[in-house]
Each structure stands twice: as structure tokens, then as C-alpha cells.
């Protein structure tokens, strides 16, 4: 089958990075300046410019029944076709299903998505021309007015005025096609199933999520009023020393002048300070003011407005295959990290309808009067409401369902933790049975769920352990998760210590002494009681989960065998590993593969090495390492593979495959998906149409390969999005 590989150079008066491709091409001033394309894997690159008619070879290809169009970040090229080339220049309209994306194929192999970095990672003979940045700025972005020109005019550097540079620009476009073709030849093609998932993801991005723009604008104005009040209060409580809550350095100085030592004023430190009982009223007030001022919700709302289209919908918010596991992420408006309402509201749900009425009144003092001095802090309330700014179109409702405890279920299934699997199936049959958090807590505290009831405070310890220990987490993982759930480890110490056996106590104390002697940061930062509490919880959780705990070693042994014996297929748990074509492949139950680049065994410093020793003298261990994209730096970097990480990758990949299967089921049944957040599927349906329980059951219809996996979802419907 012949593939058309194509790349466009475009221009628009809308900032692509700030506003996204949908708004970029929606502008009447958007245009396609040129195209470079190839039908023979880049051996021959052909050209088109906007003064020319659509090339006949492109027209014939698009109109063919099974024609394929390949591009890097193909959504951009597709929107260029649909928004400019078809209506303005008479090109035939390609179907969404004709497009494939080399950026997605690269991401599926844990390679960089950016074409320049991909070319470097693959050491391609033709790579992206770095001079392109200058040429894009010259031809794709409006230029500044010259002397005598109107400052209000939309002005461009036209091709005919700069023919030499424009020719270089087209050379750059040619090289992009050659690089894309060279990369495509080295990448594993996406399967039929993954191609279908990609096309559904693009359809979801095309539909978009509707935003309550009136309330967003009101909330932004309300926030500005609130910030002025916060700054005034800050000056009052600090005696004028701190002029505004944004003056973090001055605030730190003032707090320390009050006898309170603080390393920084980061989010975690502010939370810890507010938990202290020895702060003066003024210091506590100043810290609370800074905490409120630092809320990022207003920035999130501004991002909403930058990305929203003329019809009030944010499009292009979801990135397919964002992580090496295949999981999605959100871009632009970042819908995957929306905060939840504060726990201070308790079990009573925050009435969003009422709250939004008050937000539209734009009066901070009215909010305080309504919710009280503490709960009524404006920026906190805007944060509480942030999900509700997403709402359904007139005459429609959101119908949403979230897979419940899916990672725990998948891990138990993959590792064959028999007791836990049975417990999950039992709870599905009878939701009144003790939940997994109570069962985990009972194991940690050496008791039974008859004694440890649902209202027992120790259940929270079980919850935090379930969320932090599964992937070989220890003291540090438990401590981090405990902070998220306001669980104080010093208070956990007494009941955990009392429930522990003498042998476990002695083992924990010995380990603490060793960690302290080696200079491990956690042992030095945490109180002895907090550290011991976390260690004993870890020991208790692992003892209760023997199969999961054993899986970490099994997975490490499996990849060691696969790397030391290239070509040998190694079965482990419900996956298979093999090294071929410079990658370590992990075959999942769904038939999809995870990829780890250029696996090698290297000596890596062990976590328990003596940090008081010079680096070269610290203990090392031969470990399997591989190249993958660092989620923070976006660089292709080498890192160690350990059991907990391998299990996490497998579990999250399987959970993603199950969610994609659920999305397919929803689409087939007429529930149009408009978004997804982690393990939650969001649809938009006519008011009164469909059924929540039907939808829950629908997305839990399991593929044959997962028939023995416990899967359940919990849903709701309503006008505004919520958690």
C-alpha cells in the first residue's frame, strides 16, 4: 500500500503554542504556504506552493479508498487540510481514518516525539534542520510594522520579498519529510487496534469539551479582587514588612524574624507549617494567605480561555500515547491535573450550582459570608470549583464513569495474588463487604476486618499503603502518599508499633540505624517514630501481598535473562520479554508491546549505598538499564529497570488497554466520548438519554484476554463536571 508522507509550512496570527492547533487554523488569517511530500519513503521529495493547484498525484491518492497519509504530529497536517487546503484551495478532503502519525509510533517505542530529538536518538542520516526556527519566525509569524506602517496592520514577510530565504524554508520542509520517512522506516508500524485507538483519540479531540466562559471570565475578575484583599491582609498581619503575598523572600524573612525557621515556602512546607500548633496567630495567618495566593487555579482558567474555540469548546486537549506505557496525558489546558474540592467540606458534596451563582457575582466578601472565613477564601473556592467550569452543551448532560481501583485489580491479576482477586470479586458481588483498604489495614495491624470497621482511623493507613506500596515503594513512597492524604506518621507510630511483632520491631530499628549511619536523607529528615511507622507499614503490607512482592524479583530475573540471551523469549507472570532490533520488548496480554531502548547491563549505585562515602566508593550492583524518554526533561536518557518499575509499567499499560477497550465500547453504543482523566471516561449525551448503570456495565465488558480480571466502574450524570 502506497503512503503519502507530507509536511506543511503554515502561518497564522494565532500563537500556536499558546492557543493550540485548532484555534491556530480557525483564524481567517491562517494559511498553508507550502508542502513537501513523498510517495517513496523520501527518495523523491516533491513540492507544492500556495499559488499552485492541488498536485494531481496527491488528489488521486486521497481519493483512493485505502490511501494512507503519514505525517509527524499528524493532527496538525489534518487540520491544515480541513481548515485551509480544502475550503480555500480546492483540495479533496481526506478522512480522519487515512492519517497515521510517526510521532505516535515513536512514542510507542519510548522514543522522543519531537522530530529533531527523534532524529538524534535514531542517528538518522537526514535530520531536522535547526535553522528552521529562524525561518519559521520569519515567514510563519506576523512581522513588526516598519516606519510609516500602521501599528494595527497585520503584516507578513511575503515569499516574493525574500525569495532566497523562502527557498531555504522549502528546503527545510523537504528535509522534514526526509527525516520523517527515515524515522518511519526504523519504527515499528502501529497495529490495527492501536491505529483504531489513535483515530478515536483524534475524534475525541475534535469534539472538545465545552467551557462555561461566562463563569470563567467572572472567576478571573473575582480572583484579581481577591488577590488585592490578600495583599492588604498580608501587609496588616506583617506590620507592613511584606507588601504583597507574591514577595516570597520577604515573607520568609518575616516568618523567621518571628522565631520560625523555614527552608523554603514551597507547597509542602506551607502545609506542614499550618499543621504546627506552636505558630502565632499572625504567622499562621500569613502562611495561610500565601498558600491561598499561590493557588494555580486562576492560571488554569486563563489557559482554558486561551484554548477555547469560538463555539466555547476546548479541542486538542488530549495527547495519545503520551507515556511509554501508552497512557494519555493532557496538553494546553492540562485537564489531567485538576484539583479536587477540599476535604474540609466533608462528605457533603459542594453544591456547584450555588457556588457558581456566587462566583458570577464577583464579590469575595459575599463568598466569606456564605461559606465562612476559612472555607470562604476566594481562591480556594475557585480551586474547589475548577472541574465545574467544564459543562455540557444546551440540552445535553455529561455522563461519566471511573474505573474503581483498576491498578490494584490489574496488579493482583498479573501477579496472581489469589486472596486479593477473590476479595475483589466478592466485593463486586456484595459491595457491603469490607473494602480493600480495611483488609490492607487489618493485615498491617494484625487484626481482622470485624474489629477494624469502616470508621476505624486505621483504615486510612490501609488506603495510603495500597496506593504507595504496590510498586516496591518503601518509607519514602509511604511518606509522600501520606502527605497527600493528611496522614501524620508520628501519630501512626503508636498503633503500628503496638501491633508489630517483636521481630518486626527489632528489624525496623536495625534498618533505621543502618540507614541513619549511611546518611540516607529520609532517615535524617524524618523523626525516628515517623520513619519506623512507615517501615512497619511496609513490612506489614508486603507480608500480606506475597505474590506482588515476589513479582518484583521475578520481573528483574526475566529481563536479565532476556538481555543476556538476546532473541530468547522469557515468560514471566502474564507477560513475555525478548530483545530484538536493539529493544527490550514486553508483550502484554492484549498483544501490544512496551519497548525499552538499547538495553544494557551496567553497574548502578544501589539505593542503600553509604552516602557518607565518595561516589566512586559507594556500593554498586549490576543492573539492566535502558533508554527511554524522561517525563520531565523529555530527553532520551538511560535509567535502571527494577522490579517495581517494571510492574508499574505493565499494570498501567494494561489499565490503559482496558480503558481504550471501554472507550471503543462507548463509541459503538452511541455514547460520544469527549474526554478522559486517568481512568475516567467522559461522555456528552442528550439530556435523559442513556443510563449510568448501562454505561458502567458497557465499559466493563472485558476483552477475552482479561476475562478473569475483576473490573468495575462507578458513574454519574449531570450538567457540570465534578469528582
**pLDDT tens-digit map of 27-80:** 999 999 999 999 988 889 999 999 999 999 999 999 997 789 999 999 999 999
Cell, residue 586? 514486553
Residue 409: is it exposed, middle or buried by C-beta count within 10 angstroms (0-12/13-18/19+)?
buried
* Closest by Cα among 299, 312, 260 to 281: 260
132 confidence band (pLDDT: 50, 70, 90): confident
Task: Over range 206-210, report the average pLDDT.
Answer: 98
* Closest by Cα among 658, 648, 641 to 592: 658
> Cα–Cα distance between 535 and 510 in angstroms, integer?
11
CB 430 within 8 A of CB 712: no
> E strand or H helix at 432, and its extent?
none
CB 467 within 8 A of CB 480: no
CA 408 to each of CA 150, 337, 424, 651: distance values in angstroms, whole numbers, following the listed order: 63, 21, 10, 8
> Cα–Cα distance between 168 and 188 in angstroms, integer?
32
At 619 the pLDDT is 82
Question: Which residues does 224 contact at the CB level (< 8 Å), separation at least 6?
Answer: none
At 65 the pLDDT is 75
- Return the residue matching grid coordinates 489513535: 198
> Cα–Cα distance between 552 and 56 in angstroms, integer?
57
Task: Over range 89-97, report the average pLDDT.
Answer: 96
* Closest by Cα among 644, 567, 630 to 110: 630
At 617 the pLDDT is 78
Task: Over range 448-474, report the average pLDDT.
Answer: 94
DSSP 64: S
125 confidence band (pLDDT: 50, 70, 90): confident
Coil, strand or helix at 332: coil
- pLDDT for residue 129 is more than 80: no
Cell, residue 719? 450538567
Residue 174: is it exposed, middle or buried by C-beta count within 10 angstroms (0-12/13-18/19+)?
buried
Question: Which residues does 222 contact at the CB level (< 8 Å), separation at least 6?
Answer: 359, 362, 363, 364, 378, 382
Cell, residue 492? 501512626
In terms of phi and psi (left: phi > 0; alpha: psi -120 to 50; beta: otherwise), the region of 193 is: alpha
At 560 the pLDDT is 98
> Cα–Cα distance between 270 and 255 in angstroms, integer?
12
At 41 the pLDDT is 84
CB 293 within 8 A of CB 246: yes
Considering just the CA atoms, what is the radius of gyration of the chain in Å?
28
- pLDDT for residue 348 is more than 90: no
Task: Over range 252-260, report the average pLDDT.
Answer: 93
Bridge partners for 626 per DSSP: 639
Q: For residue 606, report the phi and psi dihedrals to the nearest 5 degrees.
A: -80, 150
Task: Over range 486-510, report the average pLDDT.
Answer: 94
Q: Number of helices (H) and strands (E) in the chain: give both, helices first.
A: 29, 19
At 511 the pLDDT is 95
Cell, residue 593? 508491546
At 615 the pLDDT is 82
Question: Which residues does 119 contact at the CB level (< 8 Å), separation at least 6?
Answer: 126, 127, 128, 179, 182, 183
Indicate the pTM of the whole model. Answer: 0.94
- pLDDT for residue 447 is more than 60: yes
The Cα diameter of the chain in Å comes to: 87
Cell, residue 653? 499499560
At 346 the pLDDT is 61
Among the listed ranges 124-128, 188-192, 402-406, which one has the minimum average pLDDT value? 124-128
Among the listed ranges 94-108, 167-181, 197-211, 614-628, which one has the minimum average pLDDT value? 614-628
At 347 the pLDDT is 55
- pLDDT for residue 484 is more than 90: no
> E strand or H helix at 109, and its extent?
none
Break the chain down into helix, strand, coil percent, rounded to 5: 50, 15, 35
> Cα–Cα distance between 199 and 95 in angstroms, integer?
10
Neighbours of 675 (CB within 10 A): 25
**Average pLDDT of the residues of the chain:** 93
> Cα–Cα distance between 229 and 390 in angstroms, integer?
28
> Cα–Cα distance between 631 and 627 in angstroms, integer?
12
723 confidence band (pLDDT: 50, 70, 90): confident
**pLDDT tens-digit map of 526-557:** 999 999 999 999 999 999 999 999 999 999 99
127 confidence band (pLDDT: 50, 70, 90): low
Strand order in the sheet with 99-101: 46-49, 31-38, 3-11, 68-71, 99-101
CB 597 within 8 A of CB 111: yes
> Cα–Cα distance between 256 and 516 in angstroms, integer?
28
- pLDDT for residue 237 is more than 90: yes
Coil, strand or helix at 671: coil
- pLDDT for residue 471 is more than 70: yes
CA 305 to each of CA 19, 25, 126, 360, 390: distance values in angstroms, whole numbers, following the listed order: 9, 17, 39, 16, 12
Task: Over range 471-500, report the average pLDDT.
Answer: 93
Amino acid at each position: 500500500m502506497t503512503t503519502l508522507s507530507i509536511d506543511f509550512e503554515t502561518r497564522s496570527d494565532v500563537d500556536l503554542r499558546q492557543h493550540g492547533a485548532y484555534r491556530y487554523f480557525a483564524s481567517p488569517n491562517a494559511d498553508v504556504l507550502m508542502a513537501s511530500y513523498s510517495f517513496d519513503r523520501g527518495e523523491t521529495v516533491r513540492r507544492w506552493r500556495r499559488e499552485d493547484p492541488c498536485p494531481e498525484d496527491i488528489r488521486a491518492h486521497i481519493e483512493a479508498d485505502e490511501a494512507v497519509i503519514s505525517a509527524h504530529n499528524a493532527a496538525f497536517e489534518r487540520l491544515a487540510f480541513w481548515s485551509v487546503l480544502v475550503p480555500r484551495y480546492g483540495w479533496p478532503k481526506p478522512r480522519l481514518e487515512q492519517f497515521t502519525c510517526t510521532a505516535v509510533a515513536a512514542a510507542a517505542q519510548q522514543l522522543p516525539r519531537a522530530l529533531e530529538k527523534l532524529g538524534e536518538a535514531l542517528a538518522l542520516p537526514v535530520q531536522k534542520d535547526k535553522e528552521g526556527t529562524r525561518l519559521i519566525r520569519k515567514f510563519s509569524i506576523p512581522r513588526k510594522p516598519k516606519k510609516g506602517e500602521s501599528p494595527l496592520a497585520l503584516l507578513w514577510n511575503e515569499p516574493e520579498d525574500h525569495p532566497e530565504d523562502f527557498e531555504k524554508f522549502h528546503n527545510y520542509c523537504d528535509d522534514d519529510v526526509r527525516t520523517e520517512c527515515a524515522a518511519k522506516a526504523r519504527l515499528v508500524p502501529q497495529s490495527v487496534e492501536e491505529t483504531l485507538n489513535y483515530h478515536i483519540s483524534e475524534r475525541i479531540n475534535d469534539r472538545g469539551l465545552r467551557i462555561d466562559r461566562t463563569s470563567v471570565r467572572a472567576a478571573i475578575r473575582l480572583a484579581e479582587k481577591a488577590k488585592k484583599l490578600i495583599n492588604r491582609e498580608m501587609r496588616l498581619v506583617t506590620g507592613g514588612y511584606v507588601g504583597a503575598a507574591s514577595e516570597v523572600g520577604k515573607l520568609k524573612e518575616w516568618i523567621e524574624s518571628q522565631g520560625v525557621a523555614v527552608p523554603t515556602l514551597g507547597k509542602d512546607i506551607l502545609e506542614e507549617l499550618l499543621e504546627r500548633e506552636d505558630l502565632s496567630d499572625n504567622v499562621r495567618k500569613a502562611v495561610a494567605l500565601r498558600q491561598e495566593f499561590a493557588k494555580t487555579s486562576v492560571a488554569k482558567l486563563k489557559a482554558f480561555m486561551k484554548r477555547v474555540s469560538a463555539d466555547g469548546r476546548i479541542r486538542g486537549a488530549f495527547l495519545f500515547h503520551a507515556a511509554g506505557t501508552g497512557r494519555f496525558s493532557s496538553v494546553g489546558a492540562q485537564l489531567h491535573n485538576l484539583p479536587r474540592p477540599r476535604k474540609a467540606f466533608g462528605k457533603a458534596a459542594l453544591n456547584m450550582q450555588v457556588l457558581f451563582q456566587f462566583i458570577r457575582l464577583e464579590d469575595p466578601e459575599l463568598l466569606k459570608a456564605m461559606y465562612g472565613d476559612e472555607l470562604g477564601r476566594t481562591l480556594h473556592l475557585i480551586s474547589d470549583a475548577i472541574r465545574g467550569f467544564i459543562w455540557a452543551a444546551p440540552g445535553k448532560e455529561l455522563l461519566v464513569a471511573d474505573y474503581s481501583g483498576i491498578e490494584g485489580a490489574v496488579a493482583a491479576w498479573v501477579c496472581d495474588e489469589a486472596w486479593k482477586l477473590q476479595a475483589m470479586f466478592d466485593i463486586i458481588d456484595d459491595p457491603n463487604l469490607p473494602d480493600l483498604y480495611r483488609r490492607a489495614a487489618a493485615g498491617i495491624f494484625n487484626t481482622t476486618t470485624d474489629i477494624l470497621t469502616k470508621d476505624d482511623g486505621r483504615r486510612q493507613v490501609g488506603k495510603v499503603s495500597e496506593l504507595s506500596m504496590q510498586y516496591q515503594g518503601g518509607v519514602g513512597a509511604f511518606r509522600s502518599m501520606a502527605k497527600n492524604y493528611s496522614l501524620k506518621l508520628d501519630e501512626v507510630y503508636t498503633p503500628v508499633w503496638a501491633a508489630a511483632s517483636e521481630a518486626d520491631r527489632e528489624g525496623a530499628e536495625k534498618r533505621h540505624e543502618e540507614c541513619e549511619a549511611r546518611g540516607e536523607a529520609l532517615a535524617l529528615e524524618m523523626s525516628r517514630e515517623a520513619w519506623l511507622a512507615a517501615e512497619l507499614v511496609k513490612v506489614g503490607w508486603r507480608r500480606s501481598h506475597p505474590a506482588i512482592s515476589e513479582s518484583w524479583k521475578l520481573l528483574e530475573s526475566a529481563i536479565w535473562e532476556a538481555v543476556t540471551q538476546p532473541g530468547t523469549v522469557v515468560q514471566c507472570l502474564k507477560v513475555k520479554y525478548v530483545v530484538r532490533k536493539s529493544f527490550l520488548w514486553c508483550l502484554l496480554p492484549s498483544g501490544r508491546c512496551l519497548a525499552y531502548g538499547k538495553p544494557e547491563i551496567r553497574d548502578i549505585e544501589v539505593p542503600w549505598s553509604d552516602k557518607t562515602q565518595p561516589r566512586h566508593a559507594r556500593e554498586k550492583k549490576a543492573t539492566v538499564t535502558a533508554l527511554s524518554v524522561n517525563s520531565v526533561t523529555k530527553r532520551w536518557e538511560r535509567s535502571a529497570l527494577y522490579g517495581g518499575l517494571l510492574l508499574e509499567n505493565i499494570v498501567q499499560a494494561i489499565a490503559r488497554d482496558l480503558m481504550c477497550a471501554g472507550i471503543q465500547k462507548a463509541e459503538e453504543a452511541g455514547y460520544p466520548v469527549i474526554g478522559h482523566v486517568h481512568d475516567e471516561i467522559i461522555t456528552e449525551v442528550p439530556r435523559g438519554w442513556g443510563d449510568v448503570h448501562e454505561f458502567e456495565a458497557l465499559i466493563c465488558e472485558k476483552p477475552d484476554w482479561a476475562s478473569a480480571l475483576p473490573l468495575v466502574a462507578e458513574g454519574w450524570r449531570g450538567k457540570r463536571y465534578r469528582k
